[in-house]
Amino acid sequence: MNEDMTVYISSVRELMHTRVGGVPLAYVRTYGCQQNVADGEKIKGLLSEMGFEFTGSDQEADLIIFNTCAVREHAEDRVFGNVGALKNLKRRKPDLIVGVCGCMTEQRQVAERLQKTFPFVNMVFGTHVLHRLPEMLHRILSDSQRVMLLGHEEKAIREDIPIRRDGRSRAWVTAMYGCDNFCSYCIVPYVRGREKSRRPDDIFSECRSLVESGYKEITLLGQNVNSYGKGLDEQVNFAKLLTRLDGIDGDFRLRFMTSHPKDASEELFDVMAAGKHIPHHIHLPFQSGNDRVLGEMNRKYDREKYLSLIAYARKVMPDVTFTSDVIVGFPGETYEEFQDTLSLIKEVEFINLFTFIYSPRPGTKAAGMPDPIPHEEKTRWFAELLKVQEGIAVYNCKKLVGSQQRVLVEDRDQKTGLLSGRTAGSLVVLFPGEDSLVGEFADVEVTDAKGWSLRGQQVH
Ligand code: SAH
Ligand code: SF4
Ligand code: F3S
């Protein structure tokens, strides 16, 4: 940690303590993808250093931070609604500090609108300046300034930000930041900036210390992990990084997301097949099954290339499972073209799909394309897709009945009261068991498939 950061941290610690007359409470709400969750854990790491404890209730908090996502319009609308709802709370608690950060704020017009619409918001800051949170809080506390800090993409990656992890058995580790792909519908490259890879040594030591402290699952993060290593002095790519991390001793799973089909390589699948710790599951977003639409999306692969990747992965890992992301109703997509998406889904038999109706993002290329299909019609296509996928998901679950699976137990399912764990292939299994199993591996025999999830019994 550099000296400036340390000075601001101790100053905020004292000022906050005096302001609330005890230990200050923070409520940090994160929206969006795992990258944002990882950022949220850094924000909490810094706050923890500054003496904050955490609460799940905005009503009792002394500091509220919304860590936002800009990927679809709906995500942004929710944030405007939720920040707006704080108006009354702030009236009752004038000392409450409110901050908005994350991807939404990296769009200048949105950041300005947030600041203008909500005069009670004390700070608005972007994704590249997390390390300056102590300094921003210091400015708010010492001279009641409103702070807006955006842009400033730093050349070097900050390795000195403390992390307060939400989980004790599963951890997120950023492998790379940013995205250079500019898929025509997507806002991420604009809000997250250019790709930057962390040094392999830094990733290795973080992962090793996680395993040493008992973490059972590490997920490496990047918008396109397959372009890991570009711009580093070391000669390294993602497959080589995985091989090195797979060499860490211990009982743990090493996952990663997201893999872009344009860069997914046979080398990567070979490394997965040979790995000791790498589950045979790949999240490989295809977005559309139609070549014209894929071209317009600027995805840089076609249906054939996608299917050949799937075939190769299946060849080297017969038990591999796939999940994916898909967009319905991209501008200009016809119903016939949408049928190609359905046929791809049937061909691959994903165990799970993350499905989205296209949402125009101002400033992206697709937002300027003619989009004649009404929203209601896209909603009907969407429902058609969900129905097809539901059948496939149920079929995929049924196939596993009678098999024995090693699951990592995540928590207790609220509805059934059963333990909930995940197989290597990333399917959920519910089974009866003691609380002490949470965060541990268990061997389970699959006895039944109920809709999207499996039921089982522990085998001893
Ligand atoms: N980097 C990852 C995805 C990040 S965004 C990748 O390339 O696969 C997560 C998902 O949100 C995308 O895969 C896409 O399916 C969806 N998405 C992104 N922008 C969208 C938009 N404008 N409208 C609808 N869905 C979108
Ligand atoms: Fe968005 Fe494409 Fe980058 Fe993924 S690869 S974050 S979809 S631009
Ligand atoms: Fe959303 Fe930003 Fe992730 S836009 S999906 S939180 S990178």
Give the tens place of pLDDT for each residue, 215-228.
Answer: 999 999 999 999 99
**Each residue of 44-76: pLDDT tens digit?**
999 999 999 999 999 999 999 999 999 999 988
pTM: 0.96
**Tokens read off for 286:** 């295809």
Give the chain's mean pLDDT. 95
Q: 71 C-alpha vs ligand 1 centroid, how far in Å?
A: 7
| Atom 3 (ligand 3) nearest CA | 33
In CATH, what number does 3-149 get?
3.40.50.12160
Residue with CA closest to ligand 1 atom 2: 223
- Mean pLDDT of the region 195-207: 97
Atom 4 of ligand 2: nearest residue by CA position: 223
Does pLDDT of 152 surpass 80?
Answer: no
pLDDT confidence band for 252 (50 / 70 / 90): very high
- Please name which ligand lies nearest the alpha carbon of 184: 2
For the chain, the domains span: 3-149, 167-267, 280-399, 404-458
Q: Where does the pLDDT of residue 451 fall: very low under 50, low under 70, confident under 90, or very high at 90 and above?
A: confident
Ligand 1 is surrounded, with C-beta below 6 A, by 71-72, 185-186, 188, 223-224, 258, 260, 285, 287, 325, 327, 356, 358-359, 361
Q: What is the CA radius of gyration of the chain?
A: 23
The total number of residues written for the chain in this structure: 460
* Furthest CA-CA distance within the chain: 66
253 lines ligand 2 (CB under 6 A): no
C-beta of 100 in contact with ligand 2 (< 6 A): no
* Same fold: 167-267 with 280-399: yes
Give me 431's structure tokens: 């089974």
pLDDT in tens, 278-290: 999 999 999 999 9
CA distance 14 to 1: 19
* Mean pLDDT within 199-205: 97
Q: CATH classification of 404-458 is 2.40.50.140, yes or no? A: yes
- As a whole number of angstroms, the distance between CA 456 and CA 79 comes to 39
Four-CA torsion 94, 25, 192, 237, nearest 10 degrees = 170
Classify domain 167-267 by CATH number: 3.30.750.210
Average pLDDT rounded to a whole number, residues 316-333: 98
- Supply the pLDDT for residue 431: 97
> What is residue 259's predicted lDDT score, i.e. its pLDDT?
93
Q: Which atom of ligand 3 is nearest to the CA of 127?
A: 2
Fold designation for 280-399:
Transcription Regulator spoIIAA (3.30.750)
Q: Which ligand approaches the C-alpha of residue 40 most closely?
A: 3
CB 104 less than 6 A from any atom of ligand 3: no
What's the average model confidence in pLDDT over 11-29?
A: 96
**32 pocket-lining for ligand 3 (C-beta < 6 Å):** yes
Q: Which atom of ligand 3 is nearest to the CA of 223?
A: 7
- Extract the runs of DSSP E, i.e. beta strands, from 202-251: 217-221
What pLDDT is stored for residue 143 in this prediction? Answer: 86
* pLDDT at 150 (0 to 100): 86
